[in-house]
Amino acid sequence: GAVVSQHPSRVICKSGTSVKIECRSLDFQATTMFWYRQFPKQSLMLMATSNEGSKATYEQGVEKDKFLINHASLTLSTLTVTSAHPEDSSFYICSAARRESNTEAFFGQGTRLTVV
């Protein structure tokens, strides 16, 4: 099956710093990528939809200035958590949709962010 690689898998940062998370589709072109956030023992909540070459579409309640999303190519999307605070600590996971298929959705391995 198609592979989506997410990096880093774990990151610890200090309050006030920024953290960048990368999501790559390794063997297919992802016209659309999605960023989800998951708190412990909860479900995945969609944060934003990222389309190559255009601005991301954010879900209601998600601060676009805090969670910067860039989708510069058909294989790479990045999520930058700016001025991180402890409440931003969470599990972030990306998903990519292949242009040719709407019956599949491929996920990265996820990034566990801890802000201290």
- The yes or no reply on residue 34 touching another protein (CB under 8 A) is yes
- The yes or no reply on residue 114 touching another protein (CB under 8 A) is no
Token reading at 13: 């940062």
Stretch that binds another protein, among 13-21, 64-72, 76-84, 91-99 (CB under 8 A): 91-99
Q: Which is nearer to another protein, 18 or 101 (CB)?
A: 101
Using CB under 8 A as the binding rule, the residues of this chain from 50 to 79 that contact another protein are 51, 57
Q: Which is nearer to another protein, 48 or 81 (CB)?
A: 48
Beta strands in the chain (DSSP E): 4-7, 10-13, 19-25, 30-38, 44-51, 57-58, 67-73, 76-81, 90-98, 106-107, 111-115
* 49 CB-side CA count, 13 A: 7
Among 14, 87, 102, 116, binds another protein (CB under 8 A): 102
Q: How many CB atoms lie within 10 A of CB 34?
A: 24
Distance between CA atoms of residues 116 and 97, nearest Å: 33
- State the residues that interact with another protein by CB under 8 A: 1, 32, 34, 38, 42-46, 49, 51, 57, 91, 93, 95, 97, 102-107, 109-110, 112
